[in-house]
Every structure is written in structure tokens, then in C-alpha cells.
Chains A and B, each alone.
Chain A
């Protein structure tokens, strides 16, 4: 069993309630931080921990915190990003649903460190029942004196509010989230100014992912240096992975980032192997935006070394032969899955979620969806594959926010690694409607453990 820092208590009966959470040692991090540490010391501890943002971009959290502007007399805000809408990602939901007090505890410590007296959780609107769970936990924490005025007699005031979104993936992007929190459409802002200078209501703001803020609790409890000893290289601590697709045991797993991808997929502690004894065809290891990899490049790098479940190893080889850890949304495809169809559904998703501000993203995502649908339904031409490649290349890097890139990468990677499957669709318009390309080119290039 690997180290568990976040989900170690997830199975304790009643852990959702304040009473049990406290009895199990909860809120010690708040006591320690507020009574024994200065705000600078907390930021320093988080820096030492090496914690990287768990929302997808992996930016060092301590460094992000140290950027927050502190103009005299202007309130600052911490905003927790619980929008979780990247296909394949459902880890924050698990954490909030089963360990709401862990998030609240992390939020109190982080709010104190950043000087946020009014802290907001922006949660995707569909997670309505989790909103209720969080609000209940907040009330419990308030009644026990961990929130409200003059917490623990330190003079620090803090309230936490939960706001539901309205159903829009783009509101996960931090400036779109801020716009939405202001009661507007989720149109990302042009940066600079960055939120750390002018964010919510033009006040200095830090936006962090749910898992990032929960990880602050073990960091304070054990110390940044100890936290950094877990994991490897710049992938310190533990990471939540939400695993889905054609595996035996879909679910949310906490891993320390030293295990191989092979172990994660095939061991019974995690995914438990491919469903129905089928073969692994491909995988999108870090949420729908990151490049899809064929089985051989997923399990080993281009150099033939084992690939590990961490930031560095998953991106080894760049986009040519690697991918990204991203949000930890691990999507597994077996031999019966069609890469063209899968890519089409993702392109449809990005077209649907484009906010429409930039023409390359607004128009390009629509064109990609149409061309992919054409190929998928057996009406494609060879030139369509090159056209797709060309469109994705023209979106990437030419937009206000990274959604443009997020829409391009899955299409680019699918063509890069599975071009023959796209060509097969074009050459076999009828056959492709009733059968799949399967593993024709990818059968057993790998060692599949018994």
C-alpha cells in the first residue's frame, strides 16, 4: 500500500461529520497554523513541500501564493476551484463528498496564510448535493469556532461561502471562474493583470484547486520537508487519480507518484486490469485535454524505460511520444474502442464549451467537430485528415485562454499516433460503420502482466 495523506481516513464511518473528523485528529493543522505560525512561515512550508497545483497546470503552489499583491486597505480573496469539468476527472467530487472537513480545514489555513476573510468555493452547478454537504460542514465548523470572527482568539476572521456554477467547463479556467463568481458570463479575461494582482472584484485573488487546498493540511501537520520526501523529483506528495473507461475497478485512487503506469493499470490495488480480459489499446492519462497515447508509449517511454505516474515521466518525450499528468483523469480504452469516435466526442465537447470570444477557438472547434463526424460516419476523405491537422495547429497558441490548446491537443495526438486508423475509416466507409479498426497495428507490443 502506498502512502495516503488525503484519503487515509476516507473509510472511517461518519468521517463526513465534524465530530468524527475532529476525533480522528482533524483541525490540528488549523490549531498549529493559527497559533504557532506566521503567515509567511506557512507560505514557506508550502514552498518547501514542493506542492504543485492539482487542477491541471501543476504550477508550484507556494510560489503562486507569494505573488499575491498586498495593497493597503484592499481585501484579498482565496477562491477554491471546484468546477471539475474536464472529462475523465472526478477526484474533487470524491474528496468533497466524503471528506468535506478536510477541504474546509485546508481552506481555513490557506485563507489565513493569504489574508482572505471571505473565501469562496466555486463548485460546478451539477454537484448540487455536494453543495449541501459542504454547507453543512461549514455550519458545523462555524459552530465549533473554526470559522467566523476571531478564530481561536487570534483576531483572524474567516467565512467560507459555496457558489454553484451554471454548467460551463470554461468556468474552470481561473479568470472565467472569477467572472462567473461576479455574476457574468464565463469569458476568460486577458492576462495580465493576473488574479494575484486584480482578481475577484479587481482585488488580489488566489485560485486553487480543491485537492491542492486539501493537501495543505498534511503539509502543515507533517512539515513541508517531510511532505517533499514522498514521491520523486518535482512530483512530491500524493496525487488523486480518477480512473475510468474499460478497466475492472474505476474509481478515485490516491497514489504516491513513484508507481509505474503498468502497476496502476494492472494491479488489484488500483485499476485491476482491463475489463473482460481485453487488451489495452490506448489511454488518456491526465484528463481529456492531454495527448492520448497508444499502449506501447503509455507503458514505456520512447527510450524503452518504464513510464511512471508522475509529472516528469508522463511528459517524457514531449508531445511527440509523451503526454501529461494534467488533472489526473485517467481514461483507459480497450481494443474495441474507436479512436476516431472517441476523438469526435471530445471535439464536440470542446466546441460546446468554447466561450466564443476568440475566432480560432470558436470556429476551429466547430470545424474539427464537423470533420471528425464526417470521418466517423464514413463520409470522410483523405484530405480531411490533413485539414484536421492544419486546423488544430492554427488554434493552438492563438487564443486568449488555454481552452484552445486543450481542444487541439487531443486531435493532434490522435492523428499523430493513430493516423492509420483515420485512414482505414476513410478507405472503408461501410466496414467502419459496423466494425472497429481494433488492435491491428498495436497488438502485443507490450508485456502484459499475467
Chain B
């Protein structure tokens, strides 16, 4: 994948930078990395990070520092759909362990791994601010809440269909 924003992505990038005063364009780094991750295959390669650095006129190290600090940036390739399941206290007391076990078994992967077909990655994460709607997971931009085994099955099936139709 070529590491250059297309026109739409570039327009969005410029909108992000324009929100900050003259000379403070580095402030756009976190949103710019989200945009880059979404634009270039769901993760941040060194090439991608260097590209963002050049666009913001900062040193590559300033980008690496940030990308390694925040948990939402993937520094390795991930599956087409990333299941980020919350495992913190409130979700745990509401049965997240069972859901995590079920996803592991159903997809036959451990946390941090991706299915062989490159479709799903399982990530265990800490509280996502959905504690009242537990157990839950985030998939891309979307929160999947009140999870049950049946719901997990239908979510997986729906993503498989989505991938097949694309």
C-alpha cells in the first residue's frame, strides 16, 4: 500500500492541522495517527510514521514516542476486524471472563493473535467506559455491548458475511 494520503484523506489531514494555532501543528499528531492507521491497513508501520512526521514537520522519533505510548495504535499488522474485549473489574464482575473464553475457543486464537485467514484479531483491553453495558468489546469504531455467546456468534457471522461481500 502506498504510504501517501489520497485527496479525501489529505483534506481531512489539513482540517485536523488547521484546528491549532500557527506553529503548533504538532498538536495534530494523535488525530493524524488515527487517520493514518485507518488509511493504511489498520496499523502504523515505520514508513507510515515517518510519512506523518514529514507532513507535520517533526522528527520521526517524536512520532514513535507517541505511537508507542498510546494503546490504540497498532504497531504490528492486525486482522481485518479487531475484537477489543474489556477485562477490567466492572466487566469482570459482569461475566467478561466467559465471553473472552468463548471468543478464544470459537476463533481458536489467544489474546494478541490473529486468525489464520487474517480476519479477526483478539485484544484484551482495559475499561472502555461501557461498564454498565457489560460484557462488551470494541470493533473498529463500534461498541458491541451486553455480549452473550449467541451475540458473539452472530457478530462473527455478520463480519464474515461483510468480508465475503467486499
Please give the residue numbers on chain A whose beta carbons come within 8 Å of chain B beta carbons, in ascending order: 75, 84-90, 93, 118, 124-129, 161, 163-169, 180-186, 201, 242-246, 250-252, 284, 288, 329, 331, 333-334, 337, 341-342, 345-346, 348-349, 352-353, 355
Other-chain contact of B94, A127, A182, A245, A353 (Cβ < 8 Å) = A245
Sample (16) of A-B pairs whose CB atoms are under 8 Å apart: A85-B129, A118-B21, A124-B129, A125-B72, A167-B72, A182-B26, A185-B65, A245-B93, A245-B131, A250-B131, A288-B127, A331-B90, A334-B93, A345-B88, A349-B126, A352-B126
Could you tell me if B132 and A183 are in contact, using CB atoms closer than 8 angstroms?
no
Instruction: Give how many A-B residue pairs fall within 8 Å (CB-CB).
Output: 146
State whether A126 and B31 are in contact (beta carbons under 8 Å apart), knowing that A250-B133, A345-B92 are contacts in the complex: no
Interface residues of B in 52-70 (CB under 8 A from A): 56, 58, 62, 65-66, 69-70
Taking A88-B131, A183-B26, A284-B89 as known contacts, 7 extra A-B pairs with beta carbons closer than 8 A to each other, sorted by chain A number, are A75-B21, A87-B127, A125-B34, A126-B72, A166-B72, A242-B132, A250-B134
Interface residues of B in 1-54 (CB under 8 A from A): 19, 21, 24, 26-31, 33-34
Could you tell me if B128 and A161 are in contact, using CB atoms closer than 8 angstroms?
no
Q: Note all chain A residues with C-beta closer than 8 A to B130.
A: 90, 93
A85 and B125 alpha carbons, distance in the complex (Å)? 12
B121 within 8 A of A: no
Could you tell me if A129 and B88 are in contact, using CB atoms closer than 8 angstroms?
no
State whether A180 and B127 are in contact (beta carbons under 8 Å apart), knowing that A88-B90, A185-B65, A246-B94 are contacts in the complex: no
Other-chain contact of A185, B69, B71, B89, B143 (Cβ < 8 Å) = B69
| Whole-angstrom distance between the Cβ of B125 and the nearest chain A Cβ | 8
Chain A residue, CB-CB nearest to B96? A345
Chain B residue, CB-CB nearest to A288? B89
- How many of B's residues come within 8 Å of A, CB to CB? 41
Leading 5 A-B pairs by shortest Cβ distance: A166-B70, A183-B29, A167-B72, A250-B132, A167-B71
Could you tell me if A345 and B66 are in contact, using CB atoms closer than 8 angstroms?
no
A204 and B66 alpha carbons, distance in the complex (Å)? 25
Other-chain contact of A166, B30, B126, B131, B132 (Cβ < 8 Å) = B30
Q: Note all chain A residues with C-beta closer than 8 A to B58.
A: 183
B73 within 8 A of A: yes
B164 within 8 A of A: no
Q: Note all chain B residues with C-beta closer than 8 A to A186.
A: 69-70
A88 and B24 alpha carbons, distance in the complex (Å)? 35
Q: Note all chain B residues with C-beta closer than 8 A to A88.
A: 89-90, 127, 131
Could you tell me if A201 and B133 are in contact, using CB atoms closer than 8 angstroms?
no
Could you tell me if A246 and B93 are in contact, using CB atoms closer than 8 angstroms?
yes
Could you tell me if A128 and B141 are in contact, using CB atoms closer than 8 angstroms?
yes
Other-chain contact of B132, A181, A244, A334 (Cβ < 8 Å) = A244
A333 and B34 alpha carbons, distance in the complex (Å)? 36
| Whole-angstrom distance between the Cβ of A244 and the nearest chain B Cβ | 4
A181 and B66 alpha carbons, distance in the complex (Å)? 12
A354 and B149 alpha carbons, distance in the complex (Å)? 33
Could you tell me if B90 and A84 are in contact, using CB atoms closer than 8 angstroms?
no
B115 within 8 A of A: no
Chain A residue, CB-CB nearest to B94? A245
State whether A168 and B90 are in contact (beta carbons under 8 Å apart), knowing that A127-B129, A182-B24 are contacts in the complex: no
Could you tell me if B131 and A87 are in contact, using CB atoms closer than 8 angstroms?
yes
Could you tell me if A126 and B89 are in contact, using CB atoms closer than 8 angstroms?
no
Could you tell me if A183 and B34 are in contact, using CB atoms closer than 8 angstroms?
no
B87 within 8 A of A: yes
Q: Note all chain B residues with C-beta closer than 8 A to A118.
A: 21
Q: Note all chain B residues with C-beta closer than 8 A to A166.
A: 30, 33-34, 66, 69-73
Highest count of chain B CB atoms <10 Å: which of A161, A183, A184: A183
Could you tell me if B132 and A349 are in contact, using CB atoms closer than 8 angstroms?
no
Could you tell me if A331 and B89 are in contact, using CB atoms closer than 8 angstroms?
yes
Q: Note all chain B residues with C-beta closer than 8 A to A184.
A: 26, 29, 62, 65-66
| Whole-angstrom distance between the Cβ of A353 and the nearest chain B Cβ | 7
A184 and B132 alpha carbons, distance in the complex (Å)? 32
A125 and B72 alpha carbons, distance in the complex (Å)? 8
Other-chain contact of A243, B62, B66, B132, B143 (Cβ < 8 Å) = B132
A250 and B62 alpha carbons, distance in the complex (Å)? 42
Could you tell me if A181 and B129 are in contact, using CB atoms closer than 8 angstroms?
no
Could you tell me if A183 and B72 are in contact, using CB atoms closer than 8 angstroms?
no
Interface residues of B in 103-124 (CB under 8 A from A): none
Q: Note all chain B residues with C-beta closer than 8 A to A165.
A: 30, 70
Q: Note all chain B residues with C-beta closer than 8 A to A85.
A: 127, 129
Other-chain contact of B141, A75, A129, A288 (Cβ < 8 Å) = A129
| Whole-angstrom distance between the Cβ of A198 and the nearest chain B Cβ | 15
Other-chain contact of A244, B30, B87, B128, B131 (Cβ < 8 Å) = B131
Could you tell me if B133 and A345 are in contact, using CB atoms closer than 8 angstroms?
no
Q: Note all chain A residues with C-beta closer than 8 A to B92.
A: 341-342, 345
| Whole-angstrom distance between the Cβ of B83 and the nearest chain A Cβ | 14
A181 and B26 alpha carbons, distance in the complex (Å)? 9
Could you tell me if A87 and B89 are in contact, using CB atoms closer than 8 angstroms?
yes
Other-chain contact of B89, A84, A346, A352 (Cβ < 8 Å) = A346
A96 and B161 alpha carbons, distance in the complex (Å)? 32
A251 and B133 alpha carbons, distance in the complex (Å)? 8
